[in-house]
Amino acid sequence: MQSSLVTTLETLSAWRHEVDRRVGVFVRFLADHDLADPTQAELLAGLRARLTSERILLAFVAEFSRGKSELINAIFFAAAGRRVMPATPGRTTMCPVELFHDPALPPRLALLPIETRLAGLSLAELRGRDDAWQQLPLDPADADGLERTLAAVTRTRRVAVDEARALGFWHEDRPEDNPPVGADGRVEVPAWRHALINFPHELLSRGLVVLDTPGLNAIGAEPELTLSLLPSAHACVFLLAADTGVTRSDLAIWREHLGADGLERFVVLNKIDTLADPLVAAATVAAQIERQRELSAAALGLPRSRVFPLSARDALAARVAGDAGALARSRLPELEAALSAELIPRQHEVLAHAAAGSAQQMRSAAARRLADRRRQLAEQLLELRGLRGKSTAKVRLMLERIDAESDEFDGCLKRLSALRAVQSRQLSELGARLGSDALRTEVAAMLSAIGGLPFSGASRESFATLFKRLRAALGDAAARTDEMRRMLDSSFVQLNTEHGFAFALQPPPPLTRYDDELDTLEQNYGRYLGLAQGWRMALPGFAEQFRRMLVAKLRVVFESASHDVEVWSKSQSAQVDEQLRERRRAFRRRREALERIQAASGELEARIAEVELQDAHLVALHGALDRVVDELVTAARDTTAADSAHAPLVLDAA
Ligand SMILES: Nc1nc2c(ncn2[C@@H]2O[C@H](COP(=O)(O)OP(=O)(O)OP(=O)(O)O)[C@@H](O)[C@H]2O)c(=O)[nH]1
Ligand SMILES: [Mg+2]
């Protein structure tokens, strides 16, 4: 009864491990043969970091009591033999719960008190501060203890109405959504703002992160969830109840939070077991389920195949009992198969593409170096062969020629350093254009235009203006990059013709993909402006959090764009440095060879043989380079199967 998710994540994990191993081989190969440079080392280190630590975020979103937590139990925690995440009738999960596994930390539940909302710090900022969280240790082997400790996520507190208002749970203009006031004049609010569960588990340890959200308005109440966590999810599971279908509040949540194109969405029609009726034939019930499925798909604007009727409760019970037939009848495996078939392979492809791309890029850089070394050897051979049968006077003449060439070489160094000065000025201008100061100024201008209230009526227009200006800044950066490219191109052509270098200009990184990222941010953040839910976000602390989050996200986009250009520029300089080094080395070698020939007869033939041997060695090295890279690229592209040498440990979920 192994879940297909386990198998696919296993495959992905084994693949990542294998590709990372081969990248490691490649890195060592480059280092052993003096073929690496710092920018390329950075590129490969970045790739390895992605291979080993990139996570897949799967979010569960729905109105309360649709069975999110129960479904998480069925998919992830059946091995505990019980219901681990609290799932009870009515509102249960009171705060967003993130499940992941970080082996560097002990298994534990970390709880962020709700009062931290008052201080205006964002969740991202608080993540790094252990002292803000209450930590409770977890013992994965103790199912009773787990259940007891995790019950904390259901905890609430009773507070005065004023405090509830300050925390964002009370709104005069939407009385129907306010919690009921008790006889003591107090209302119930969640005790925690966020919960993190670090738990060793075969899926979580392989990079899956699961987000369980509380139903009913709570998504709107935590800005970080709507603005940051949900948009960054790789996929969302949205739950409906089979007996009710799509209700008005389901639809409101769907439209506000999951309507975005580009987000992978899986819809679950949960609790199909409740449709069973002893007075109705099984075939009729099945037809009813199909009908609900069709209606739900139509209401949400999705193909029918994206709606999965199932029973989370029956699936959990079946897995706990180890009953394969009952598990199949719960229809959970169909959802798991779809998640495995679509979510993970997509992630797989993105990584595979990045890995193969980096490897090819490094191959051409290394090949260029080898070609340059071979050209130097060829020149040397020509010179040495020309010496056959020549007098000592002739040898002395050649020594003088080397000295003259070396002087000329020193002259071209001045030109190169002037070129470098211009290049670094252009780069720092571009960095300033995309720097965080410039960004903060833009965002501040936008906020002051709307009087600091991101959710007022005027905000849409100013927001659009902000993004127009940001796109212009990016366009300007692209123009500057092109200017740099043109300058390098003409200098390289000149240096190649006049001094016999082999500088090859690589095309600069296209910055257009950051335009797309700006589009996505504008869509995600813009969705919350002037929204019916806007009132909820008009809290005093929210405007500040909104600003911080927006600046943080934009900074990532601009910094990445600026970083791309910097890496490109550095790698152009790196090839210049490399060829200069080779040049110096060649002068020295030629000089030494001639001096030896001058000193002893018979040395010439030995020297020629030596150079020929060196050349043969370089040819062999090129072959080895191709083999290492081909193996890496093949391993990276082979996204269908894991290397059987690294066979996954198969874990039976039953
Ligand atoms: N009959 C039946 N009950 C289910 C099923 N899935 C969940 N339930 C029950 O529905 C109730 C609510 O389930 P939860 O998992 O707590 O729902 P939730 O979506 O997490 O709700 P909140 O945490 O309040 O947002 C619990 O009593 C579950 O046992 C199902 O497939 N069939
Ligand atoms: Mg729940």
Residue 646 pLDDT = 37
Provide the Cα torsion 463, 465, 466, 470; round to 10°. Answer: 140
| Confidence label for 471 from pLDDT (cuts 50, 70 and 90) | very high
Residue 228 has pLDDT above 80, yes or no: no
| Confidence label for 642 from pLDDT (cuts 50, 70 and 90) | very low
Distance CA 554, CA 562 (A): 12
Nearest C-alpha neighbor of 377 from the set 222, 600, 583, 77: 583
User: CB within 8 A of 355, min separation 6: which ones?
Assistant: 19, 23, 47, 51, 632, 633, 636
Pocket test for ligand 1, best of 60, 61, 63, 69 (most atoms within 8 A of CB): 69
Atom of ligand 1 nearest to the CA of 312: 31
User: Phi and psi for 159 in degrees, rounded to 5?
Assistant: -135, 165
Q: What is the pLDDT of residues 604-618, one digit of tens each?
A: 888 889 999 999 999
Beta bridge partners of 308: 268
Pocket of ligand 1 (CB under 6 A): 62, 64-70, 87-89, 91-93, 214-215, 270-271, 273-274, 311-313
For 411-415, which contacts have Cβ atoms below 8 Å and span 24 or more sequence positions? Answer: 412/495, 412/498, 412/499, 413/580, 415/491, 415/495
Pocket test for ligand 1, best of 313, 319, 320, 330 (most atoms within 8 A of CB): 313
Q: What is the pLDDT of residues 349-379, one digit of tens each?
A: 888 888 888 888 888 888 988 988 898 889 8
Atom of ligand 1 nearest to the CA of 216: 25
Distance CA 518, CA 520 (A): 5
| Confidence label for 260 from pLDDT (cuts 50, 70 and 90) | low
Residue 522 has pLDDT above 80, yes or no: yes
How far is the centre of ligand 1, averaged over its atoms, from the C-alpha of 109 (Å)? 22
**Under DSSP, is residue 175 helix (H, G, I), strand (E, B) or coil?**
helix
Atom of ligand 1 nearest to the CA of 330: 31
**Which ligand is closest in space to the CA of residue 73?**
1
| Confidence label for 2 from pLDDT (cuts 50, 70 and 90) | low
How far is the centre of ligand 1, averaged over its atoms, from the C-alpha of 479 (Å)? 55
| Confidence label for 173 from pLDDT (cuts 50, 70 and 90) | confident
Dig out the tokens for 80 from the structure.
């505990």
Residue nearest to atom 30 of ligand 1 (CA): 271
**Bigger pLDDT: 598 or 495?**
495
Residue 475 has pLDDT above 90, yes or no: yes
Residue 199 pLDDT = 93
**Which ligand is closest in space to the CA of residue 216?**
1
How far is the centre of ligand 2, averaged over its atoms, from the C-alpha of 93 (Å)? 4
Q: Are 108 and 138 in contact (CB under 8 A)?
A: yes
How far is the centre of ligand 1, averaged over its atoms, from the C-alpha of 196 (Å)? 21
Residue nearest to atom 26 of ligand 1 (CA): 88
Q: Are 381 and 615 in contact (CB under 8 A)?
A: yes
- The DSSP secondary structure of 404-423, one letter per residue, reads HHHHHHHHHHHHHHHHHHHH
Residue 453 pLDDT = 59
Residue nearest to atom 21 of ligand 1 (CA): 65
Percent of the chain with pLDDT over 70: 91
Distance CA 300, CA 270 (A): 16
Q: Are 46 and 652 in contact (CB under 8 A)?
A: no
| Confidence label for 119 from pLDDT (cuts 50, 70 and 90) | confident
Residue 531 has pLDDT above 80, yes or no: no
Q: Where are the beta strands (DSSP E) in 454-520?
A: none
**Bigger pLDDT: 578 or 114?**
114
Tokens 């970083």 found at: 563
Q: How many residues does the chain have?
A: 654
Distance CA 37, CA 365 (A): 9
Dig out the tokens for 76 from the structure.
């992830």
Q: What is the pLDDT of residues 5-39, one digit of tens each?
A: 778 888 888 888 899 999 999 999 998 998 887 77
- Stretch 228-257: mean pLDDT, rounded? 87
Residue 253 pLDDT = 85
User: CB within 8 A of 136, min separation 6: which ones?
Assistant: 108, 109, 110, 111, 149, 152
How far is the centre of ligand 1, averaged over its atoms, from the C-alpha of 320 (Å)? 17
Residue 532 pLDDT = 43
| Confidence label for 653 from pLDDT (cuts 50, 70 and 90) | very low
